[in-house]
Amino acid sequence: MQRALISTAPLLIGLLASGSLEVRNQASWAGVERVKIRWAAGDITINTHATPLVRAKSVSWGPEAPLAYEARRDGEILTLELQCRTPAPCGGDLELGVPEGVKLEVDLGEGQAKLNGAVGNSSLIVGKGVIEASALTANETVLQVVEGSITAFWAEIPQRVVVATVTGDVELRLPEADYALEDQLGHSTMVGLVPVLDATSKIQVTTIDGEAVIYGIQTLASL
């Protein structure tokens, strides 16, 4: 399996009208099975594609822009990181394309995380912002936002779903099936589904100051 960096675009540094720096970077990798993202602030968009490469485009801004972003490889694991080390405003946006089945671990301090497609088992955690996910097929998915909302749609029946917010609402849409529901605070409502205590598929919901609505939907395969 090829594990080398396939291509890297030149680093572009420009001076914005506001006087802060903007840095753009682009690269592709083969043979990646897991992507870890550690991102201070900004928007992260992840889509699956038909190629065997992981492709990343990033733009970072602020006084630390030339040093804030880092991409490093350790075997089949790729880590993309944007960290701000001073109080000055700093952030960035990331567009990521991954092959189907690649596992994800995303930790975003503030911003929006958007995920679309048949990724592998995934964990997305956002401090302040939103998570939007669609066309999910993973067996296990963990979605957590401290301050903000979660919206997620599944294209295939999952085995385990964990969602949590401190202040914010949750909307889940899952294929019609039997699901065991765990919600100790009782803030969840099922529409088109009835919880089944010993079901193989399990949904764990925690919404401290918010509500969760879980819809059962018909998929094309069930029609």
- Angstrom CA distances, 196 to 13, 162, 179, 181, stand at 56, 17, 6, 7
Output the pTM of the full model: 0.88
117-165 residue pLDDT tens: 999 999 999 999 999 999 999 999 999 999 999 999 999 999 999 999 9
1-20 residue pLDDT tens: 333 333 344 344 444 444 46
For residues 54 and 58, what is the distance between their CA atoms, to the nearest angstrom?
Answer: 13
- Angstrom CA distances, 25 to 56, 110, 130, 208, stand at 8, 21, 25, 39
What residue spans define the domains of the chain?
121-223
pLDDT of residue 165: 97
Residue that is written with structure tokens 């509500």 in the block: 211
Mean local confidence (pLDDT), 43-71: 91
For residues 152 and 145, what is the distance between their CA atoms, to the nearest angstrom?
Answer: 13
